[in-house]
Copies of this chain bind each other. A is one copy, B any other.
C-alpha cells in the first residue's frame, strides 16, 4: 500500500519495474487518489481560496481566469468566493475558507479600511496575498502602479490639448480608487487648478458614471476631459453625454480604466488603461506559493506597470484616428 502511494505521488524512489506494474494496474482499475484523504494526512489541500469583491465587474473574471490557469499549471485548485461588495460576507467567506483548510488565500478586499479586520485575521492564520485591492499595507500585495497609469492618461490628454479635467470615481474606500484619485489630484492640479472641485465620487457602476456626467453637464462649462477611474463609469458617462448631444471626443474627451470588453464595445471606443492581468495573476500565484512553501518569508509587494491604450474617445485634435465621417466641424 505504501509502495503504491509512493509511486503515485512520486515522492520516493521505487524499483522501476515495480513502479511500472503499479501504474499499469492503477490505470486498469481506474484508480484515482482521493484528495480529501491525502489532504487530511498531509495537512495540505493543494487548494487555494480566492475572495473577490464582485464578479459582475468584468475586471475580476479576467483575473480569476488567469489565476485559475496559473494554479492549474502547478496543480492547485481554486475555491472561489464572491463577497458581493459586502464586508460582512467577506469575513464569513474567509472563515469558511479556513475551515476548508485551503493552503493559502488570494484576496481582493472590498474596503481598504473595513476589510482590515478580516484580512488581518486571515493573514494571521494563512499565507495571504492581496491582489489588486488592498487593506493591509504591510502584507504581501500584487497590484499595478496606479499613479503611473493615471499619469499616462493625463500626459496623453494634455498632449491632446486638454487643460481642464473632471474625475469620476467609485468611493475611495476601494484602495485602487483611492490611489487613482490621489494620483489624479496631484497631477491634474498642475494643469488645472480647479480639478479638485470636479471630483465625482460614487460607486463602480455604469449608473454612477451616467449620474456623474449629468452633474458635470449641469455644472457647465464642460471640462476638456472627463477622466474615469474605470471603464464602467466611463461608459456610463458617455451614455449620458450622448443623451445630451454632447459629442465625444469633439466636445469632451473621456477616458476609462481596465480595458474591459466595454472599452471596445462602446461608441466611441474608449481610451483606457490595460491592466496586466496575466502578470498580476501569475505574480500573485508565485508569491502565494512561495509563502506557502516558507511561511516565515517576509511580505512581498509587487507593483506592475499598466499601459495606456489610445482609442477614439480621447482623440481631439483631428488626429489620424478621428473618425473621418465626423465632418468639418469635427475639429474644435
Interface of A is mostly: helix
In the complex, identify which listed stretch (A19-27, A31-39, A106-114, A131-139) lies at the interface while the others stay far away. Answer: A31-39
- A36-B39, A265-B265, A267-B266 given as contacts; is B45 within 8 A of A56 (CB)? no
Contacts of A232 in B (CB 8 A): 261, 265
Q: How far is the CB of A118 from chain B (nearest CB, A)?
A: 15
Copies of chain A in the complex = 2
**Residue ID in chain B nearest A92 by CB atoms:** B72
The reply to whether B68 and A82 contact each other, CB–CB distance below 8 Å, is yes
Tally chain A residues at the interface, Cβ within 8 Å: 52
In the complex the two chains form, what is the Cα distance from A325 to B246 in whole Å? 11
Instruction: Verify if A177 is at the interface (C-beta below 8 Å from B).
Output: no
Q: Is A96 an interface residue (CB 8 A)?
A: yes
When distances are taken between beta carbons in the complex, the residues of chain B under 8 Å from A266 are 265-267
> Which of these binds chain B: A235-243, A283-291, A294-302?
A235-243
Task: State whether A79 touches B77 (Cβ < 8 A).
Answer: yes
Q: Do A99 and B32 have beta carbons less than 8 Å apart?
A: yes
Q: Is A222 located at the chain interface by the 8 A CB criterion?
A: no
Interchain CB contact (< 8 A) of A101 among B35, B64, B82, B323: B35
Q: Does A310 contact B (CB under 8 A)?
A: no
Q: Given the interface contacts A68-B82, A238-B267, A267-B238, does A35 sit within 8 Å of B99 by beta carbon?
A: yes
A100 at interface (Cβ–Cβ under 8 A)? yes
Tell me, in angstroms, the Cα distance from A99 to B39 when the chains sit together.
Answer: 11
Chain B hits for A262, CB < 8 A: 261-262, 265
Residues of B within 8 A of A81 (CB): 68, 77-78
A52 CB to nearest B CB, Å: 10
- The residues of B that contact A98 with a CB separation of less than 8 Å are 32
**Could you show 10 A-B contacts with beta carbons less than 8 Å apart?**
A32-B98, A47-B79, A55-B61, A77-B100, A206-B264, A206-B265, A236-B265, A239-B264, A239-B269, A242-B267
